Each structure stands twice: as C-alpha cells, then as structure tokens.
Amino acid sequence: MLNKIVKGITKSRDEQRRAELLRKLMRKEAEIGGQLFGPVAKGGRREFFCLDEHTWVWHEEWVDKQAVRQVKTTRYDVRPDRILKSQNGHYSHVEKDEVIRLHEAAKIYRDRVREEVYSGV
C-alpha cells in the first residue's frame, strides 16, 4: 500500500516537472519569436509562437500615447486550403502578402528556436 502511494506521489511530481518544463520552453520560444519583429517598446511585451501544428499566435501589449495599456492577440489557424486569422473574436481570411510574411516569420522562428533553445538537445 505504501509503495503504491509513493509511486503515485513520484508520478505526480514527474508530471508537474514535465508540465513546468513545457511551460518554460513555450515562454522561451514565445520570447524569441517576439524579437523577430524588432525591439519592443519600453513597458511593452510581444510574443510570437507556434501553439500546435496548426496554430500560430502573435500577442502584443503596449502603452499608447494616452498612457492606456493596449493588448492585441492574433491567432492564425493554418488549414490545408487557407489560413484564418482571429483577432478579438473576429475571423478573416489571410491574404497572400500576409501568408508570405507569416511563412517567412515561421521559418526564422523555427531556425532561431532550434538554435537558441534546442541546439544542445
């Protein structure tokens, strides 16, 4: 009985460690992705990352000229025949120029993340 409890606790700790590691890796990837588009304004935050094999996320926070914090999150849903963009619950199709820019950003992101995060793995 005690052995079963210890195994359960150990398994739970391993799962917690694994989940925390994944969160840290995703935060690091998002940070790297946010740097691809130039410097972030003081007091701001920018993230760009691959959430899963079909979803890319761009998140940006900044303080506008009236000192009001602004937030914008854009999600790109990559489908076999098109890419949909969602901003504030509003969906639209992504036009060709934006598809090209997203594709280029994804390639640079992949290369930098591979080099800066996973090169020693």
66-99 residue pLDDT tens: 999 999 999 999 999 999 999 988 999 999 999 9
Tell me what pLDDT residue 72 has: 93
Q: Please state, in angstroms and rounded to a whole number, the distance separating the CA atoms of residues 29 and 109.
A: 8
pLDDT at 112: 95
Please, is 9 exposed, middle or buried when counting C-beta atoms within 10 Å of its C-beta (0-12, 13-18, 19+)? Answer: exposed
Task: Please count the helices (runs of H) and the strands (runs of E) in the chain.
Answer: 2, 5
Give the pLDDT confidence score for residue 73 in this predicted structure.
Answer: 94
